[in-house]
Amino acid sequence: MSRFYFSCIGCGATFPLTENIYSCSRCGDLIQAEVLIDEVREEVDFRALKKQPISVWRYAPLLPILNTSKLITLHEGGTGLHHCRRLGSLIGLEHLYVKNEGENPTGSFKDRGMTVGISRALEVGARSVICASTGNTAASLAAYGAKAGLKRIVLIPSGKIAYGKLAQAIVYGAQIVQIKGNFDEALNIVFKICSRNKEVYLLNSVNPFRIEGQKTLAYEVCDQLNRHPDYFIIPVGNAGNISAAWKGFKEYYNFDQIKAKPKMVGVQAEGAAPIAEAVAKKSLSITPVNKPETVATAIRIGAPVSWKKALRAVYESHGTALTVSDDEILEAQSLLARLEGLFVEPASAAPIAALKKLKEEDYLSSGDFVVCVATGHGLKDPDVISRLYEKPVEVDAEVSSIERLLGFAEEARVHSI
Ligand SMILES: Cc1ncc(COP(=O)(O)O)c(C=O)c1O
Ligand SMILES: [Zn+2]
């Protein structure tokens, strides 16, 4: 007997895990996997679990995969939780941590969900997998699909994904379709393709198995900190990841592994902020943004499919959501790199940009345990760097002129010898 089942986030209908579904057959809303809390508390030996190397599959007993002998893994998860002392002291936070999801195999948090999603695709006998993507899901699906020997198809908004991500999808051998439209339009097309062609397995974050993998982000942070964070600050695009992390924290709390849950703080770019706008109005629904725009292409999404779960995460946790400008995002990217040695892509710098505002407003106190999620690696988006930063100087290969350029005075050198 599985300790998992599906439930609808809208009407609460339940379905067995053996059904191959992404949405509720009664009301059409999203479904999610649910775990039987009491059974986990009785049956899972958390002490033994925590002796396993930290990774997504350390948490296998808490993940709804029926046959763990055929997992498709590239060793995802187990990413660093970096105590950022220099950045923290600049902002006035003693316990500031960055969970660096860029350390995953394809350089983003998507790998957590993809290892579970692709493993499930094999369980249900799929032969091809598909997603719409702002880039990182495409890269991850392409890699894990390759490892599984599946045909992989990705739909991307033409000209709007960072080059590093496109390069990954190309090299991993995905069939790439660039559409003349934005992410929201690409996702709608993917939904239609999947409803008409049952043999294609959908791997966007409406897929509950993606969310299950991604919830391990929360488990890991608690295990690494040895406590719950007070605040968990995360960029929001299609809103799957904030929903997944909140699910993970709630479960870890219910399994008695943490004493309290963090406040969830969602961060969006000013030009693509339907969730933050809804939270500002204390609204229970969102107004989609028709033409989302931001330098943080990963979160350039106007109609987040998991908006309902994201609003629940913010309201249930008594957290908040806010916007940051593109300039603030880019400044934060530079600050994190220069003070902490962490190079993250623009979307991942959004929580860092938000820190300053939240501290100035006294939303955060200096002793709080604050975790920011850096969702993807900086090398994903090299174009933004070459556009914004000055090119390095070029000089003749000649020692003394280079020393002059570097400011090494002749006199000082003689003395030091
Ligand atoms: C780097 C990065 N950060 C944040 C997000 C947003 O995650 P979600 O769409 O689950 O809200 C994405 C999604 O593509 C991403 O690639
Ligand atoms: Zn329903």
Tens-digit pLDDT profile for residues 210-245: 999 999 999 999 999 999 999 999 999 999 999 999
Q: Which CATH architecture has domain 81-107+210-387?
A: 3-Layer(aba) Sandwich (3.40)
Task: For residue 351, give the nearest of 237, 219, 224, 253 by alpha carbon.
Answer: 237
* Residue ranges of E strands in 169-250: 175-179, 200-202, 231-235
Residue 260 has pLDDT above 90, yes or no: yes
What is the position in ligand 1's atom list of the atom closest to the CA of 347? 3
For the stretch 105-137, pLDDT in tens is 999 999 999 999 999 999 999 999 999 999 999
Nearest ligand to the CA atom of 24: 2
**CA distance linking residue 326 with residue 6, whole number of Å:** 38
Q: Indicate if the pLDDT at residue 417 is higher than 60.
A: no
Query: What span, in angstroms and rounded, lies between the C-alpha atoms of 224 and 129?
Result: 33
pLDDT band at 2 (very low <50, low <70, confident <90, very high): confident
pLDDT at 191: 95
Quote the pTM value. Answer: 0.96
Give nearest CA residue, ligand 1 atom 6: 237
Count the alpha carbons within 13 Å of 98 in the hemisphere toward its beta carbon: 32
CA–CA dist 137, 113 (Å, integer): 9
Distance 100 CA to ligand 1 centre (A): 13
Task: Name all residues whose Cβ lies below 6 A of ligand 1.
Answer: 108, 134, 136-137, 205, 235-241, 298-299, 345, 347-348, 375-376
Instruction: Specify the pLDDT at position 334.
Output: 97
Band of the pLDDT at 67, cuts 50, 70, 90? confident
What atom in ligand 1 is closest to the CA of residue 301? 9
pLDDT digits 0-9 by tens, 130-162: 999 999 999 999 999 999 999 999 999 999 899
**Are the beta carbons of 134 and 157 closer than 8 angstroms?**
yes
Give the model's pLDDT for residue 349. 98
Predicted local distance difference test score (pLDDT) of residue 53: 97
Residue 28's nearest CA partner among 7, 6, 10 is 10
Question: 213-244 in b/e burial notation, b at 16+ Cβ within 10 A?
Answer: bbbbbbbbbbbbbeebbbbbbbbbbbbbbbbb
Residue ranges of domains in the chain: 1-35, 81-107+210-387
Q: What pLDDT, in 10s, does the model give residues 386-401?
A: 999 999 999 999 999 9
Distance 222 CA to ligand 2 centre (A): 32
Model confidence at 411, in pLDDT bands (50, 70, 90)?
A: low
Query: Which two tokens mark 143?
Result: 């890699």
The percent of residues above 90 in pLDDT, for the chain, comes to 94
The predicted structure's pLDDT at residue 415: 59
- Looking at residue 254, its pLDDT comes to 98
Mean pLDDT of 299-327: 97
pLDDT at 69 (0 to 100): 83
What's the pLDDT at 414?
58
CA 269/CA 295 separation, integer angstroms:
8
Closest residue by Cα to residue 106 from 182, 172, 28: 172
Please work out, in degrees rounded to the nearest 5, the angle formed at the alpha carbon of residue 46 by the alpha carbons of 40 and 47.
Answer: 155
Mean pLDDT, the chain, rounded, equals: 96
In this prediction, what percent of the chain has a pLDDT beyond 70?
98
Cβ count near 386 (within 10 Å): 8
Which residues have CB under 8 Å from 99's CB, separation 6+? 79, 80, 81, 82, 217, 220, 221, 371, 372, 373, 374
Dihedral sign of CA atoms 211, 214, 219, 222 in order: negative
Q: What is the pLDDT of residue 68?
A: 81
Length of the chain: 417
- Round to whole Å and give the CA distance between 206 and 239: 10
pLDDT single digits (tens) 33-66: 999 999 999 999 999 999 999 999 999 999 999 7
Mean pLDDT value of segment 375-394: 94
Encode pLDDT of 185-200 as tens digits: 999 999 999 999 989 9
Strand partners, 347: none
User: Ligand 2 (ion): which residues have CB within 5 A?
Assistant: 8, 10-11, 13, 24, 26-27, 29
pLDDT higher than threshold 70 for residue 250: yes
What pLDDT does residue 413 have?
59
